[in-house]
Amino acid sequence: MSSDQLAFVASDLPPPPSSDMAVSAAAPPGVTTGPSRADHQPRLPPPPPPPPTLPKLGQASPESNRPDSAYGGSGGTPSLLSAESVESVETLTHNGVAPPSNPLLTSQPQQTQRPNLDQHAQFQQNLHQLHEQSSAPAEDQSYADSAYDDTSSLNESVTDTLESAYSHYRWENGRRYHIYRDGAYWGPNDETHNDQQDIAHHAWRLALNQSLYLAPIHRPSRILDVGTGTGIWAIEMAETFPDAEVVGTDLSPIQPTWVPPNCVFEVDDVTLEWTFRRDSFDFIHSREMFGSIADWEEYFRQCYRHLKPGGWVEALERGVKPVSDDGTVGPDHFWTTWGDTVLSVGETWGKGFNAWEILKEKMEDAGFVDVVQVPMKWPIGPWMEDQHMKELGMWNALRLDTGLEGYVMRLFTMAGGWSYTEVQAFLGKFKACMKDPSNHGYLPGNCVYGRKPLNAAPSRD
């Protein structure tokens, strides 16, 4: 619309009524007239009171001279900003660090509560020093000469928080690994590997006909899951036995925080001396600990010492060398080369990958009785005719496809001296064989469980 047209339309409009003009036309019966245009004028709120005048650091506040003041003093440095806190903030400023932004320094103080700015300023100073330590070169990092001490629970809390934030993980070849007991375990703990662990849990449920265990346990009151990983088995056991305490241990703190109230997780190394109370568990469970335990007999002795008389231990392991019953995976097949290589590098690693073959023997040597071994087959792909095994093969192929790199990357590069490119080329050959339906390979495995004798003598600490 042009400017001439706008002017023409505007000339036809009636003039606006004045602000003091009352409505003269009588309203029809039953109709209430609305407010006048003057009633629609905005009503501004009263202006806010002027902000309080705060004293400079180290100077007296006018409020402090009042007998009923929240500062509790009369003249001099107010107790809200003590001389020590002033010195701490000035020290931060002198070192080039801005004082902490605190609403207590920019608003009217509450007269019903006296905040402790001494503690806050010290907290900020310690936080600054800890950040400087975390960014220093590794050889310069030391907690022995830090500014905090054992007398302040606040400082200890800050220390623990920062140590956790900076020291949980290590990155190698694009994968994330645990830092506690660095190098004790070959597997990563990043999201890719954690997803693979949950897929493996589903596959194990299929292999056990949807059961979480095979040992004949009855109303356990305390359960231990060794090498709990993502904690999915421990969580489901806690839901299955809500009256039992379920403890999961692992090198990595990757477990969820939203768990059943009877489920707890602890960061620990199973190969060290256990700190649990002796004769206190009804059931101890482990799964896929291959390449993690150097002495399986000692592991089962630890289980024996910490089980109640009559308690059960169960270990589930599978092999890493594919085999076949129809000769499709023979001595010259790449999968055979793969398995032999993993077993050889595992020996160099110091923790073998053949645990599934020795579980029963080592369990009996540790003193367990009524030991049962249940053999298993894990098809690689859906080549079996049985529908149950076909489904298990599909899930096993999925976990191998997504998790194979995590299985061998650290193992081959650290213990075998391989390059990243060599590992990827080796992985590619394995996955190429997975795409060939004529390969009827599977991974053997065992579920072994045994009982501590009812007449076992109490274990000594």
Q: Which of 208, 185, 203 has its CA nearest to residue 399?
A: 203
Where do the H-state alpha helices sit in 179-295? 191-207, 232-240
State the DSSP string of 354-415: -HHHHHHHHHHHTT-EEEEEEEEEEESSS--SSHHHHHHHHHHHHHHHHHHHHHHHHIIIII
Indicate the DSSP class of residue 323. Answer: B
Residue 22 in 3-state DSSP?
coil
CB environment 115-129: b (16+ within 10 A), e (fewer): eebbebbbbbbbbbe
Tokens for 185, please give them.
């375990």
Residue 83 in 3-state DSSP?
helix
Residue 223 in 3-state DSSP?
strand
Show pLDDT as tens, one digit a residue, over the chain (461 residues).
444 444 444 444 444 444 443 333 343 344 334 444 344 344 444 555 554 444 443 343 333 333 333 333 333 333 333 333 333 333 333 333 333 333 333 333 333 333 344 444 444 454 444 434 433 443 333 333 333 344 334 344 433 433 454 346 777 777 777 676 666 666 677 787 778 888 999 999 999 999 999 999 999 999 999 989 899 999 999 999 999 999 999 887 878 889 999 999 998 888 889 999 999 999 999 999 988 888 999 999 999 999 999 999 999 999 999 999 999 999 999 999 999 999 999 888 778 889 999 999 999 999 999 999 999 999 999 999 999 999 999 999 999 998 888 888 888 888 889 999 999 999 999 999 999 999 999 999 999 999 999 998 888 76
State the DSSP string of 95-141: TT-PPP--GGGTSPPPSS----HHHHHHHHHHHHHHHHHHTS-GGG-
326 vs 305: CA distance, rounded Å = 44
